[in-house]
Chain A
Amino acid sequence: MNIIVCVKRVPETADADVVIDKSGKDIERSGLVFDLNEWDNYAIEEAIMLKEKTGGTVTVISMGGEDSNESLRKCLAMGADDAVRLTDPAFAGSDGFATAKVLAEAVRKIPYDLVFAGVQAEDDGFGQVGVTLAEILGIPHVSLVNSLEVQDKKMKVHRELEGGLEEVVEVDLPAVLTIQTGINQPRYVSIMGIRKVAKKEIKALGVSDLNLKAEEVGVPGSYIQLEKIFLPPVGEGAQMLDGKPEEIASKVFGILKDKGGLT
């Protein structure tokens, strides 16, 4: 089974103090820690587990600047065989659709049975790239996959629906699956592990290597563009409880007593 996994390097913002930068179009990136997109971490783990079971290769591809090599090396350290970085000034400003076009041309250059992508990225949250990629490649897709099983030239996969419900779908290969978080427990990568793959060559491919024209990618090849970003309106917001921890705790007791929180 030859598997291609599409990954992205993103800033970790879940616990970070997010500040809008001077351009008003992005957040202040200095001081933020960057890592592999959480969904992609599960996707690469799933690919490596499948390879360990069935043989074959795992190739990881990412569109991004030189910094993205860091995430690609993490994937190599986890057990991927090859890494390819898609990079070109013309890619700047690509939306989900343009990104899928770039990925599709890279995928076409590599023999594959399966393509994995994360359901969505933590930063722009389009939740569309994997499914668009399948359509461009002319192969079937299954999104929101939270378990899978290979059966000869097809797969049996579970899709996560709302409210805890799942559906079971059978799909012919090759196919694109978008992987949901929680599908596995991604392995830990040690510093030693990263060091071992530090010298491994990561190919970089640009517009001309991918049989693309500059007008098909980046802003000219995109459907949407970001105008500006702003902090979400807070609405009424919470009444903040201040004071020493003991005082706050007493206030919480009062609220609980009042609102039926003590049983």
Chain B
Amino acid sequence: MKKIIALAEHRQGELRDITWEVVSKGRQLAEVMGAEVEVVLLGKGVKKLAETLKPKAKRVLLVEDDRLEAFNSETYQKVLTQLITERKPFLTLIGHTAMGMDIAPALSAQLKMPLATDCIGVDVAGESFALTRQLYGGKVNAAVSFLKNGPYMITLRSGGFPVVEKEPFPGEIVSVPSPLTDEGLAKRFLQFVEAAVGEVDITQADVLVSVGRGIKEADNIPLVKELADILGGVLSCSRPVVDKKWLPKDRQVGTSGKTVKPKVYIAIGISGAFQHVAGMKGAGTVIAINKDPKAPIFGVANYGIVADLFKFVPVLKEKLKELKKS
């Protein structure tokens, strides 16, 4: 029977959300193809995690080794190369995350296995798959196909696939021996560094006024800060603003920043790249101001305003001040 392997991702003792997405998608594809879905879990002392994964797949392939305590693409690659060579899955699914981006391209090249990265859609198409990816920061979608025969490897965009609750599997946990030895590594994990704590905690705010690339320069930030002050809200931002050092990292909303759930989120000059949206889709009401009517942010906002922020925000500030008084 054909097999689909889904790679579990965990960090600091916890399975990451992407794992459920990858396993759920693996199961859905397996059902269409008449295949079996197996989850691969690598780590040290992760039996408990294997137990939670057990009902989600036909079996859990567990590789435990002290050398797998922290993620390292070098050790992961050695283990996965052997495992994939032995189990011969038709498809290997990995999250397009900091971990997946570090392992999948190298693994695919070593195994000479066709790879499609950061997919937001995967459908069975005969003996292959029809894929959907995004181009130009999400402004355009692309239908993509494999040019070679399988087996295949696909990395899935985090947050791009639903986790579908289905009848649990009886499941089984199969321990697979680790091929790792004490042979030296070219790359060594040293430690984690936690995010620095800032002056404000944007995850606790009821109202966030968030600013993006459209603000153009650091000197324009006060325009938006004043709007936040009028509303009694907190100023946050998207990645480009932090990259350019206009605001500190603790103000960043998105995949590599914070996940926020304010009652109201006002996005100003933010195009709505996926990495940003992933951090704010839990907001109650989203109001977006952007000069580009095709900006992806309007696809996730509740209310949209197509306007030049430098013209509209000053008007909005005055009006809000006036109406708040009355």
The reply to whether A165 and B114 contact each other, CB–CB distance below 8 Å, is no
* A241 contacts partner chain B, Cβ-Cβ < 8 Å: yes
Within 8 A of B (CB), among A186-227: 219, 222-227
Residue B30 at the A interface, CB < 8 A? no
- Alpha-carbon distance between A222 and B28 when the two chains are bound, in angstroms: 27
Known: A185-B245, A222-B147, A240-B306. A136 touches B193 (CB 8 A): no
Evaluate contact between A263 and B232: CB separation under 8 angstroms.
yes
Residue of A nearest to B306 (CB): A240
Chain B 272-305: CB-based contact to A (< 8 A → 1; otherwise 0): 0000000000001111100110101011111111
Q: A162 an interface residue at 8 Å Cβ cutoff?
A: yes
A110 within 8 A of B: no
Cα distance, A136 to B105, chains bound together (Å): 10
* Residues on B with beta carbons closer than 8 Å to the beta carbon of A140: 74, 186-187
Point out the residues of chain B lying under 8 angstroms from A164, CB to CB. 194-196, 249-250, 252, 256-258
Identify the stretch in B43-51, B53-61, B174-182, B308-316 within 8 Å (CB) of chain A at 4 or more residues.
Answer: B308-316
Q: Which residues of B contact A132 (CB under 8 A)?
A: 105-106, 108-109
Contacting residues, chain B, for A245 (C-beta < 8 A):
307, 311-312, 315-316
Question: Of B144, B243, B304, which one neighbours A227 at CB under 8 angstroms?
Answer: B144
How far apart are B270's CB and chain A's nearest CB, in angstroms? 11
Task: Tell whether B115 is near chain A: CB-to-CB under 8 Å.
Answer: yes
| A131:B102 contact, CB within 8 angstroms | yes
Interface residues of A in 227-250 (CB under 8 A from B): 227-232, 234-235, 237-241, 245-246, 248-250
CB pair A223–B147 under 8 Å, yes or no, is yes
Which of chain A's residues has its CB closest to B273's CB? A14
Give chain A residues whose Cβ lies under 8 Å from the Cβ of B83: none
- Known A-B contacts A132-B105, A144-B98, A232-B134; the reply to A169 vs B188 at CB < 8 A is yes
CB-CB under 8 A for A263 and B207, given A97-B109, A241-B304, A245-B307: yes
User: Which of A119, A127, A234, A263 is the one whose CB lies under 8 Å from B233?
Assistant: A263
**A residues in contact with B245, CB < 8 Å:** 182, 185
From 140 to 190 in chain B, residues with beta carbon under 8 angstroms from any chain A beta carbon are 140-148, 158, 186-190
Residue B264 lies at the interface, judged by CB distance under 8 Å to chain A: yes
Q: A223-B148, A255-B285 are in contact. Are A96 and B98 (CB under 8 A)?
A: no
List B contacts of A167 (CB < 8 A). 70-71, 189-193
A144-B101, A163-B256, A228-B143 known; A17-B292 Cβ under 8 A: yes
Q: Which residues of chain B are near A255, meaning CB under 8 Å?
A: 285, 287, 303
- The smallest C-beta distance from A156 to any residue of chain B, in angstroms, reads 7
Bound-state Cα–Cα, A262 to B266, Å: 12
* Residues on the B chain within 8 Å of A125, using CB: 118, 133-135, 137
Does B261 sit within 8 A of A, measured CB to CB? Answer: no
Find chain B residues with CB under 8 A from A130 CB.
Answer: 105
Stretch at the interface among B34-42, B85-93, B317-325: B317-325
Does B78 touch A at the CB level, under 8 Å?
no
Give CA–CA (A253, B117) in the complex, Å: 43
Chain B residues numbered 115-129 whose CB sits less than 8 Å from any CB in chain A: 115-118
Interface size on A, residues (CB 8 A): 85
Contact assessment for B304 and A239 in the assembled complex, using a CB-CB cutoff below 8 Å: yes
Looking at chain A's contact residues, the main secondary structure is mixed
B225 CB–A CB distance under 8 Å: no
Interface status of A161 (Cβ within 8 A of chain B): yes
Most B CB within 10 A of own CB, among A15, A129, A181, A261: A261
The answer to whether A228 and B142 have CB atoms under 8 Å apart is yes
Most buried by A among B70, B311, B318, B320: B320
Specify which of A134, A226, A235, A248 is in contact with B305 (CB 8 Å cutoff).
A248
Q: CA–CA, A185 to B245, complex, Å?
A: 8
With A181-B243, A245-B315, A259-B284 already in contact, the answer to whether A165 and B143 are too (CB < 8 A) is no
Residues of chain A within 8 A (CB-CB) of B2 are none
Chain A contacts for B137, CB-based, 8 A: 13-14, 122, 125
Q: Which of chain B's residues have a CB closer than 8 A to the CB of A241?
A: 303-305
Least Cβ–Cβ distance between B186 and chain A, in angstroms:
4
Q: Chain B residues with Cβ under 8 A from A162's Cβ?
A: 16, 97-98, 158, 255-256
Instruction: Tell me, rounded to whole Å, the shortest Cβ–Cβ distance linking A115 to chain B.
Output: 14
Contacts of B131 in A (CB 8 A): 224
Residues of A at under 8 Å CB distance from B?
11, 13-15, 17-18, 20, 27, 96-97, 100, 119, 122-132, 134-136, 139-144, 156, 158-172, 175, 181-182, 185, 219, 222-232, 234-235, 237-241, 245-246, 248-250, 252-253, 255-256, 259-263
In the assembled complex, 13 residue pairs joining A and B whose CB atoms fall closer than 8 Å, in A order, are A13-B137, A124-B133, A127-B96, A163-B255, A164-B258, A223-B114, A229-B142, A230-B141, A231-B294, A235-B300, A240-B305, A255-B285, A259-B263
> Which residues from chain B sit less than 8 Å from chain A, CB to CB?
11, 16, 70-74, 96-98, 101-102, 104-106, 108-110, 114-118, 131, 133-148, 158, 186-196, 206-207, 213-214, 231-233, 239-240, 242-245, 249-250, 252, 255-259, 263-264, 266, 271, 284-288, 291-292, 294, 296, 298-307, 311-312, 315-316, 318-320, 323-324
In addition to A123-B135, A125-B137, 11 A-B residue pairs with Cβ atoms within 8 Å of each other are A18-B140, A20-B140, A128-B115, A163-B256, A168-B189, A182-B244, A238-B286, A252-B316, A252-B320, A260-B263, A261-B264
